[in-house]
Amino acid sequence: MLRKWISMALVAAFALPMSVKADEGMWLPMFLSRLNHVDMQKEGLNLTAEELYSINNSSLKDAIVNFGGFCTGEMISDQGLVLTNHHCGFGAIQSHSTTENNYLEDGFWAMDKSQELANEDLFVQYLVNMSDVSTDVLSVVNDDMSEDERSQAVHAKIKELKASATKGNNYVCEIKDFFEGNEFYMFMYEKYTDVRLVGAPPSSVGKYGGDTDNWMWPRHTGDFSMFRVYAAPDGSPADYAEGNVPMQPRHHLPISLKGVKDGDYAMIWGYPGGTDRYLSSYGVEQAIEVSNPSVVEVRDLKLDIMDQHMDADPATRIKYAAKHAQTANYWKYFIGQTKGLKRLNVFGDKQELENEFQNWADAEPARKAKYGNAIQLLKEGYAATDKNVKGNTYLREAGISGSESMLFAFKMGRMMGALSNPDIPEEGKKGIRAQIEAEVESHFKDFDMALDKQLFAELMAKYFNDIDAAQHPSFFAEVTKKYDGDFNKYADAMYSSSVFVSKDRFMEYLGRKDNGGLFKFLRKSNAKIMENDLVNQAATSIFEQYFASGSANAEAEAKMAKGYRLFVDGLRKMNPTKSYYPNANFTMRCTYGKVGDYYPADAVHYDYYTTMEGLMQKMDNNNPEFVVPQKLVDLYENEDYGQYVDADGKLHVCFISNNDITGGNSGSPVINGDGELIGTAFDGNWEAMSGDIAFEHKLQRTISVDIRYVLFIIDKYAGATNLIDEMTIVK
pLDDT digits (tens, 9 = 90+) for 378-418: 999 999 999 999 999 999 999 999 999 999 999 998 888 88
Q: What is the pLDDT of residue 676?
A: 98
| Maximum Cα–Cα distance across the chain | 77
Q: What is the pLDDT of residue 2?
A: 32
Contacts of 63 (CB under 8 A, 6+ apart): 74, 75, 249, 250, 251, 252, 253, 669
Q: Give the distance from CA 188 to its chain's centroid.
A: 20
Q: Phi, psi (5° rounding) for residue 300? A: -55, -50
**CA–CA separation, 659 vs 568, rounded Å?**
24
**CA–CA separation, 308 vs 305, rounded Å?**
5
Percent of the chain with pLDDT over 90: 81
**CA–CA separation, 414 vs 191, rounded Å?**
27
Mean pLDDT for all residues in the chain: 92
Q: How many CB atoms lie under 10 A from the CB of residue 477?
A: 13
Q: Phi, psi (5° rounding) for residue 187? A: -125, 125
**CA–CA separation, 584 vs 576, rounded Å?**
22
Q: What is the pLDDT of residue 204?
A: 97
If phi > 0 it is left, if psi is from -120 to 50 it is alpha, else beta; for residue 516 that is: left
pLDDT at residue 12 above 70?
A: no
Q: How many CB atoms lie under 10 A from the CB of residue 585?
A: 20
Percent of the chain with pLDDT over 70: 95
> Considering only CA atoms, which of 340, 380, 396 is closest in space to residue 684?
340
Cβ-in-10-Å burial (0-12, 13-18, 19+) of 623 comes to exposed
- Among residues 23, 194, 223, 448, which one is catalytic? 223
- Among residues 37, 86, 87, 251, which one is catalytic? 87
Q: What is the pLDDT of residue 526?
A: 64
- The mean pLDDT value for 362-389 works out to 96
Q: What is the pLDDT of residue 22?
A: 54
Which helix (H) or strand (E) element contains residue 350? helix 346-362
pLDDT at residue 3 above 80?
A: no
Beta strands in 444-564 (DSSP E): none
pLDDT at residue 455 above 60?
A: yes
**pLDDT, tens digit (0-9, with 9 covering 90-100), for 260-275:** 999 999 999 999 998 8
**CA–CA separation, 404 vs 442, rounded Å?**
12
Tell me how many degrees the CA angle 14-19-20 measures, rounded to the nearest 5. Answer: 85
Give the pTM.
Answer: 0.89
Contacts of 30 (CB under 8 A, 6+ apart): 53, 130, 131, 132
Q: Reduced to 3 states, what is the DSSP secondary structure of residue 129? A: strand
Q: pLDDT category, 586, cuts 50, 70, 90?
A: very high
pLDDT at residue 525 above 80?
A: no
Which structural domains are found in the chain, ordered by start? Answer: 29-123+193-277+583-730 (2.40.10.120), 281-554 (no CATH)
**pLDDT, tens digit (0-9, with 9 covering 90-100), for 203-214:** 999 999 998 999
**CA–CA separation, 629 vs 12, rounded Å?**
37
Q: Reduced to 3 states, what is the DSSP secondary structure of residue 266? A: strand
Q: What is the pLDDT of residue 523?
A: 54
252 counts as catalytic: no
**CA–CA separation, 684 vs 686, rounded Å?**
7
Q: How many CB atoms lie under 10 A from the CB of residue 376?
A: 12
Q: What is the pLDDT of residue 4?
A: 39
**CA–CA separation, 295 vs 286, rounded Å?**
13
**CA–CA separation, 154 vs 331, rounded Å?**
35
Q: What is the pLDDT of residue 196?
A: 98
Q: What is the pLDDT of residue 427?
A: 81
- Among residues 666, 668, 690, 704, which one is catalytic? 666
**pLDDT, tens digit (0-9, with 9 covering 90-100), for 604-642:** 999 999 999 999 999 999 999 999 999 999 999 999 999
List, as one string, the DSSP characters of 155-207: HHHHHHHHHHHTTTS--EEEEEEETTTTEEEEEEEEEE-EEEEEEE--HHHHT
Amino acid at 331: W
Contact 23, 659 (CB under 8 A): yes
- The mean pLDDT value for 650-658 works out to 98
Q: What is the pLDDT of residue 19?
A: 39
**pLDDT, tens digit (0-9, with 9 covering 90-100), for 32-91:** 999 999 999 999 999 999 999 999 999 999 999 999 999 999 999 999 999 999 999 999
- The mean pLDDT value for 338-342 works out to 88
> Considering only CA atoms, which of 580, 577, 595 is closest in space to residue 21?
580
300 counts as catalytic: no
The gap between the terminal CA atoms of the chain, to the nearest Å, is 51
> Considering only CA atoms, which of 124, 119, 126 is closest in space to residue 90?
119
Beta strands in 613-676 (DSSP E): 652-657, 669-671
**pLDDT, tens digit (0-9, with 9 covering 90-100), for 289-316:** 999 999 999 999 999 999 999 999 999 9
Q: pLDDT category, 11, cuts 50, 70, 90?
A: very low
Dihedral sign for Cα 713, 714, 719, 725, please. Answer: negative
Contact 271, 586 (CB under 8 A): yes
Q: pLDDT category, 518, cuts 50, 70, 90?
A: very low
pLDDT at residue 8 above 70?
A: no
Q: What is the pLDDT of residue 443?
A: 93
pLDDT at residue 513 above 50?
A: no
Q: How many CB atoms lie under 10 A from the CB of residue 372?
A: 18
262 counts as catalytic: no
Which range among 20-29, 322-331, 513-522, 677-686 shows the weakest confidence by mean pLDDT?
Answer: 513-522
Q: What is the pLDDT of residue 522?
A: 54
**pLDDT, tens digit (0-9, with 9 covering 90-100), for 128-186:** 999 999 999 999 999 999 999 999 999 999 999 999 999 999 999 999 999 999 999 99
**CA–CA separation, 129 vs 185, rounded Å?**
10
159: Cα within 13 Å, side-chain hemisphere: 6
pLDDT at residue 222 above 80?
A: yes
Q: How many CB atoms lie under 10 A from the CB of residue 236?
A: 11
Contact 28, 582 (CB under 8 A): yes
331: Cα within 13 Å, side-chain hemisphere: 18
Q: pLDDT category, 521, cuts 50, 70, 90?
A: low
